[in-house]
Amino acid sequence: MFKVDTKEPPACFFEDFPEGREMPVVTKGPMQIGHQVRWAGACDNYASEFHHDEATAKSQGLPGVLLSGPFMASYMLTEVGHWLGRHARVVSFWDRNSGPTAPRDMAHIHARVQRAWQEGGRAFVQIDCHIANQHDKVTTPGVLVAELPLRADGRGSPR
């Protein structure tokens, strides 16, 4: 049986994320077709059979099964969100599938605070993030903007 450990992210604040701060690298993998199938089942995304069927993938000129770009982006968004803490509110997220992820590949998730600013009494961080494979090739670059509470406001969560 597949076991998922759940853990609530920590309470973090804007002041915890100065520009330049890096998230400890999170490694997932080796990736498996089963990861893709479980994700597809959770979001009812079975339309592209080359993501889970070897024969279909090869008949379409691919070297084999490729894992879904949105599936990989969901890993990245989840890990960056956990790093930012339970009070972070994602304002925007962008990613691009710029390289393939195949079964047995590793996925190393990186994130760094590119910008931190306050505007109208609210606090935001821009996070540059990406997934690199075992060959250090970036397969999924992304950018996330999140609102975080200020430690001094005492509310413990963004508006």
pLDDT in tens, 58-72: 788 877 777 878 889
Please check whether residue 159 lies inside any domain of the structure.
no
Q: Cα–chain-centroid distance for residue 130?
A: 8
CATH value at residue 77: 3.10.129.10
Domain of residue 27, residue span: 14-153
Radius of gyration of the chain (CA): 18
Residues 6+ away with beta carbon under 8 Å from 93: 73, 77, 142, 143, 144, 145
Rounded (to 5) percent helix, strand, coil in the chain: 25, 30, 45
Label residue 27 by pLDDT band (50, 70, 90).
Answer: very high
Please check whether residue 6 lies inside any domain of the structure.
no
Q: Report the alpha-carbon distance of residue 109 to residue 121 in Å, rounded.
A: 31
Q: Report the alpha-carbon distance of residue 27 to residue 32 in Å, rounded.
A: 14
Residue 138 bridge partners (DSSP): 132
pTM above 0.75, yes or no: yes
Q: Which two tokens stand for residue 154?
A: 């005492």
For 123, list phi and psi in degrees, rounded to 5. -125, 135
If one counts the domains in the chain, the total is 1
pLDDT in tens, 119-150: 999 999 999 999 999 999 999 999 999 999 99
Please check whether residue 77 lies inside any domain of the structure.
yes
Helix (H, G, I), strand (E, B) or coil at 132: strand
